[in-house]
Structure formats: C-alpha cells, structure tokens
Amino acid sequence: MPSDISAAAPPRQRRPAAVRPAPRSASPIYRDLRNDILSMRRRPGEPIAEARIAETYGVSRTPVHEAVLRLADEGLIDVFPQSGTYVSLIPIAALPEAGVIRRALEEATVRMAATRATASHIARLRAALEAQRELCAACDRDGFHEADERFHALLAEVAGFPGFWALVQQVKVQVDRCRRLTLPVPGQMAKVIAEHEAIVEAVAAHDREASVLALGAHLDGLRLTIDDLRAAAPLYFTEAA
C-alpha cells in the first residue's frame, strides 16, 4: 500500500457552498449528506455544521437536524450532546457481518444468474464492463464507483432477484466508504475490472460454481484491501461497533 494514499490525508477545509434551492423536506438534504459521506467527500471524523448546511440550502435547521438524525440511525453520523456532530468513524467491528451478509446474497445472485443468463443478458454485462474500462481510462473514480454499483445491480436483475441488491446496499454502507478509499490506489480499478470479467465469463459459460468462486475472489480482494487501508489511515477507523 503506497504511503501517500489519499486516505491518510487529513480532512481538508470545505469551501463555502453556494446557496441551493430550498428543499420542501429533509429528504434532499439527507440524500446529499449521505452521498457526501459514502463518497468520502466528507471524511470520517469531520464536523457536521448544521447551521452552515441550513444556510447553504436556505432552510431552517429543522430539516437539517431531521436528516442528521436519519444518518445517525444508519451509523453514518455521530451526535454528541454538548460536544458536536461528526461524520462517524468506520467501525471495524461492523465490517465482518456486512461482508457475510453480502457474500450470502451475492453468491445466490451469481449462481442464479449463471442459470438464467441469456445472450442479451451477457451482452449487457459485457457492455457494463466496457463502460468500466472507459471510466478507468479517464481516471473517473466517482463514475467508476457508480458503474460498479450498476454492474452488481445488473447481476441481480439477470438472476431475477433485483431485491437482493437493494438488501446488499442497506448492509454495506460502511464497506462502501472503505471501497471509495481504495479507488485512488494505483491499479485498483483495473483489478476490479479483471475480477468482474471473471464473474461475467463464468456466468456466460453457465458455470454456477465458477461464478461463485469468481465472486468470492472479488469480495476477498476487497477484504484484504480494507486491512491495508486500516493500517494506512487508522484515524478513519474505530474498533467500536
């Protein structure tokens, strides 16, 4: 793991944002804050200034506070009365359970995808790979992450279990923050594409067991990378659940 990994850099001062159109509810604020946290635009341990966010959106603090409480329920924000509100650290203890749940759901997904995949399904999966290659070549990390998500959602669609991916998304929020830290690592996006290619080829061959093995290699690679990240950026992680 390179010593200059961006994950190890301290949070940068955020520039004042332009005032946005006032939302009618807390939902847009919740969505934007959640996206900022999962994408690591807001880093673990970074303060959340509700008054500044309210000013940015042109609203009172009430919808901002509602959004913050929803994110606290998801474990993405910590609220300390009389102290402050912060983006939560990534809880090491929560990652293994999330990994087990994800593996169980996605193994079932690729096994069924290998059974059901049609020629048009395979064409769509290969097109998704090509989109990932283009984003990798452009060094578009945000776009690559979104393409990665679409690829896994497509596998669930091919399997006939689109709801499986929705469940995975609910349990992997902390893992997603780790994944976003890995993308600046040289060669990481190309490695992910190679792992995705192995999954697609196994599904295209209708080889259920090879599909599961290819998926397992993909998920195991992420687990090992998280171990490296923890060593490189210890201030972003906590042992607590």
Which CATH number characterizes residue 17's domain?
Answer: 1.10.10.10
Q: Within this chain, do residues 128 and 209 fall inside the same structural domain, yes or no?
A: yes
- Residues 217, 221, 224, 226: is their CA dihedral positive or negative? negative
Residue appearing with tokens 């946005």:
20
- Residue where one domain finishes, among candidates 40, 58, 88: 88
Retrieve residue 25's tokens: 């509810």
- Do 106 and 222 belong to one domain? yes
Q: Give me the residue label for tokens 């359970």.
A: 97
pTM: 0.78
Residues 6+ apart with CB under 8 A from 90: 44, 174, 177, 178, 236, 237, 238
- Tell me: do 112 and 74 sit in the same domain: no
Q: State the residue range of the domain holding 159.
A: 92-238
Which pLDDT score, from 0 to 100, does residue 225 have? Answer: 66
Residues 59 and 116 in one domain: no
Q: Give me the pLDDT at residue 23, please.
A: 54
| Residuewise pLDDT in 10s, the chain (241 residues) | 333 444 444 444 444 444 455 455 788 999 999 999 998 999 999 999 999 999 999 999 999 999 999 999 999 999 998 889 999 999 988 888 898 999 999 999 999 999 999 999 999 999 999 999 999 999 999 899 999 999 999 999 999 999 999 999 989 999 888 888 877 778 989 999 999 999 999 999 999 999 999 999 998 877 666 777 777 788 899 987 6
Co-location of 74 and 115 in the same domain: no
Residue 230's CATH number: 1.20.120.530
Closest by CA to 175, choosing from 229, 240, 106, is 229
Determine how β-strand 77-80 pairs with β-strand 84-87. antiparallel
- Alpha carbons within 13 angstroms on the beta-carbon side of residue 226 total 21
User: Does residue 1 belong to any structural domain of this protein?
Assistant: no
Would you state the torsion angle of the CA atoms of residues 209, 212, 214, 216, taken in this order, to the nearest 10 degrees?
-140
Burial class of residue 10 in the structure, from the number of CB atoms within 10 Å of its CB (0-12 exposed, 13-18 middle, 19+ buried) = exposed
Q: Write the CA distances from 145 to 5, 51, 81, 152, 193, integer angstroms.
A: 18, 31, 35, 11, 11
> What's the CA gap between 215 and 235, in Å, rounded?
30
